[in-house]
Amino acid sequence: MRHKNRGRKLGRNSSHRKALGRNLLISLFQHGQIITTLVKAKEYSSLADRMISLAKRTSGKVAKMQAKLSNGKEMTSELQQEITRQAEAIKIADFRRALAKIPDNATIQKLFYEIAPLFAKRQGGYTSVLRLNNSRIGDNAPQAVLRLTETLPDETQKQKTREEKKRDKEKLQKAKEEMNRKQKEKKEKAKEKAKLAKERAREKAQKEKERKQAKKDERK
Give me the architecture of the 7-151 domain, per CATH. Alpha-Beta Complex (3.90)
How large is the average pLDDT for residues 124-130?
Answer: 93
Q: What pLDDT score does 83 carry?
A: 81
At 130, the pLDDT band (50, 70, 90 cuts) reads very high
At 39, the pLDDT band (50, 70, 90 cuts) reads very high
Q: What is the pTM of this model?
A: 0.62
Least confident of 195-199, 206-210, 211-215: 211-215
DSSP bridge partners of 35: 145
Q: What pLDDT score does 62 carry?
A: 82
Does residue 158 surpass a pLDDT of 70?
no
Contacts of 25 (CB under 8 A, 6+ apart): 44, 47, 48, 51, 101, 102, 107
Does residue 79 surpass a pLDDT of 80?
no
Q: Which residue has the higher pLDDT, 42 or 71?
A: 42
At 114, the pLDDT band (50, 70, 90 cuts) reads confident
